Structure 1
Amino acid sequence: MDIHIVEHPLAASRLTIMRDERSNNATFRAALADLGAMLIYEASRDLAVEHFDCQTPVAVAQGTRLQDPPIIVPVIRAGLGMVDPALSMIPDAQVGFIGLARDEDTHEPVPYLEALPEDLSGRTVFVVDPMLATGGSLLHAIRLLADRGATDITAVCMVSAQEGVDALANSGLPVRLVTATIDPELNSDAYIVPGLGDAGDRLYGPRNIHL
């Protein structure tokens, strides 16, 4: 599996803000938006393009546009925070949705929403989720995409745990990973260490509904 760690001073500074327990919801959201745009920028580096004539006020220049913009698929709920940053970079991208909750006892994903094109054959898919912990939720999402024919899938995650990275690498699924960091371990509650806490709670506030 191809793994790209975005090592850039600006990415590291936004990640630090997100890690800092003193950052409130608004500060966390702003840092996530910046880092999300940076990661999507890097994930898009090798996308196919087409060229066309572009008339400037002075002459004709060679224009460039994406040949087939990717489909952005957030894993709800935390992944919703990465949709706007992704669309700021790729405004003509389509968006699908996969809803997964985490069972706090088993730490396993509980699916509750799937809104995707029926056929993803030949399409590029960016599945976005701030956190890759055990890999259970992301693997479930990637299997759904692969079952619909997707063979070009990029997982864009801000913080990845080594356990989750290994799970993706050993899955045999057609996925590459773009991330800002790989943290070494999970704690007994399957939270990434040092991580940044619960990304969904820090984006939107504590959950009121438990599945």
Structure 2
Amino acid sequence: MMTNLFSIFDPSTNLFNLSLNWLSTFIGLLFIPYTFWFIPNRYFMFWNFIFNTLHKEFKTLLGINSFNGSTFLFISLFSFVLFNNFLGLFPYIFTSTSHLTLSLSLSLPLWISFMLYGWINNYNHMFAHMIPQGTPNILMPFMVLIETISNIIRPGTLAVRLMANMIAGHLLMTLLSSTGQNMNFLIILLLIVQILLLILESAVAVIQSYVIAILSTLYSSEVN
């Protein structure tokens, strides 16, 4: 039972000794050509509205000292995670964001680059950030330790948050679908619950992509 339940997250399924499941990560690229039409369509106008809204919000969070075009990095991160989260809801498409391999590969380089930039170019601010204003002298060593630990675990929390939220909903939907053969009279109720869970998972896919993008923006704004 547990093997079948977790088999949807197994990336080792291969064809001709090639692990082709990870190719689902690039399916989101199929949506990009629609934005290059000569005549703007509703799809282009919809994404243009979302990107402009995110650009204004990220620009406000980054502040006036941010580099020009830095918001596009986080908008690209949002789009990439959103496509992978949403495509994982379709049957027989591997959910790559449900694995720590991909989520940590996204969060760890971002965190390392922020830390290197902050400690090399603005180390006074980085030291001051470890001790909040108004902290008593006796608590300063503990605050430095706590802030250091919370700073180190940031990429892990970003990765685990995305992975756990993607796994939880998919596991629940798989668990309910596996019990459908034993529910002859309640199959309509099961279908309704599955549809509601699918709507919930669609919302979670959007929310989690927004959360990882907004937290990455907040982490980068702290090093300026």
TM-score (norm 2): 0.24
With CA pairs under 8 Å and 6+ residues apart, which has the higher RCO, 1 or 2? 2
TM-score (norm 1): 0.25
Structure with a larger share of its residues in strand: 1
User: Higher Cα Rg: structure 1 or 2?
Assistant: 2
Structure with a larger share of its residues in helix: 2
